[in-house]
Amino acid sequence: MTDTTSYNARAIDTAQRLMAMRRATARDRSGVPLDDLLPARDKAALGVQREYERMGGQPVSDRLAAAAERLGASLEHLGLTLGTVIHGVDLAAPTDDLVAFVRAALLERKVVFFRDQHLSEAEQVAFGRRFGELDAFPFGRPGDDPFILEIAHGPGSPGYENGWHTDVTWMEEPSLGSIAQLVEGPAVGGDTLFADSHAAYLGLPVALRERVDGLHGVNDYRIFLADRGEAAFDPEVVAEVKDAIPFGVTHPIVRTHPETGKQALYLHGGFLRHESLHDPVTGEHLPEEESRELVRQLLAQHTRPEYQCRFRWEIGSVAFWDNRAVQHYASSDYYPERRVLRRVTVRGDRPFHRPEAG
């Protein structure tokens, strides 16, 4: 026999003998809790299962499904616990019922999508205002309307938003959510991925979850003021910016959602000072090495595919995500083609951590 044939014969014989031994000692494990079936080092599936169970074991509530039917809308779910495309609605002329429905869908699904909208800047801004006051963005290129942020990449400007993050954690009151529309896009690529921050929190190993509950970290916008060679900002300008916009704000690493009461893993690796974790009650700061190691572990959590859904953009597609409940990642796989998004940001409130909230 050849070596390959000899190996396969031994492999098949070994598998048959081991399976026979397992069958002889096996017990029915179908009723065993998932937590007991998973290794302590990997609870990603548990986080998803716990969040889905908390959602009633269905993608949307009966109330939301009934509201969609009344509006003539259909729902296409992209992930088990997050991400739904809402078909059959017009965002250019939103009724009160549609706005209430989208708000409810956002809370249940964390990020919602729409296709074939083709909103003007004015229409996109008007739609955003139906959900609250808007915040302008000081570190990007505005559209004709100052509340529009244009995120444009193409030749000479590869996309760099390809890291897991939630928006503007450097603000004292980070945004509730962002509403983005694709106005120009590549033939292939440029998708945006979203990850469920509630499931990510629930899927943390118990010891790690208990360690970070209640910890805070300091966030700032230093990456927007970083030295960029010839494009570096004058020190006086930097000082003026820091004087106008608070530089260094403290937020909890585990954030309680102000509307649902759910806990979410809440951090942005580019804005968070990795050495800054501390207990705001006792005033105790973690040793720098421990702080950095905890941040490293937490930043890896949203990268697990179990927590994610992926949205394929088309011209006129709109995404509305809840920054309090998800992180996102813009795939930079389309260079040198152009990809242009217009974004408006809905004002939020100051993050807090309330363990008893859920």
Q: Hey, is 24 helix, strand or coil?
A: helix
β-pairing, 84-87 vs 111-114, is parallel
Q: Which of 153, 302, 304, 328 is catalytic?
A: 328
Contact yes or no for 170/345 (Cβ under 8 A): no
Q: Which of 198, 324, 339, 343 is catalytic?
A: 343
- List Cβ<8 Å contacts ≥24 apart for 139-146: 139/221, 139/224, 143/342, 145/121
Q: Name the E strands within the chain.
A: 74-77, 84-87, 111-114, 134-135, 141-142, 149-153, 177-184, 192-196, 216-219, 249-252, 254-256, 263-265, 308-311, 318-322, 326-330, 339-346
86 vs 341: CA distance, rounded Å: 19
Is-catalytic flag, 165?
yes
Q: Which of 50, 109, 167, 198 is catalytic?
A: 167
Is-catalytic flag, 353?
no
Q: Hey, is 109 helix, strand or coil?
A: helix
Q: Hey, is 341 helix, strand or coil?
A: strand
- Phi, psi of 36, rounded to the nearest 5 degrees: -80, -20
Q: Which of 165, 255, 268, 324 is catalytic?
A: 165
Is-catalytic flag, 251?
no
Q: Which residues are catalytic?
A: 165, 167, 328, 343
